[in-house]
Amino acid sequence: GTRFALILHALAFEKLRLQRLYVSIIPANYASLRLFEKLGYQRDNSPAARSYIDDENDITMSFGRDEFLRLHGDILPHLFMAG
């Protein structure tokens, strides 16, 4: 779970050079909410974040590259296998 999510985020921020990621989560999906909060996502009700909703009740969150590096940068070298 969390390790795989960190690898995906490392690819998004380090390889694809994305600056911000957004998620839209149905309120009853507590596991997803916990995972994204654990990664460092913050609730975001900006127009950019809300543009990804499927339903008006969805919870939107976002996570920036700088925040990712501050929180998880020390483990980046350990996420990928050499080769």
Confidence of residue 83 (pLDDT cuts 50, 70, 90): very low
Question: Would strands 20-25 and 59-64 be described as parallel, antiparallel, or unpaired?
Answer: antiparallel
pLDDT digits (tens, 9 = 90+) for 26-57: 999 999 999 999 999 999 999 999 999 999 99
Is pLDDT at 82 greater than 60 in this prediction?
no
Q: pTM to 2 decimals? A: 0.87
How far is Cα 13 from Cα 16, in angstroms, rounded to an integer?
6
Q: What is the C-alpha radius of gyration for the chain, rounded to an integer number of angstroms?
A: 13
Query: What's the pLDDT at 79?
Result: 74
- The tokens for 9 are 């985020």
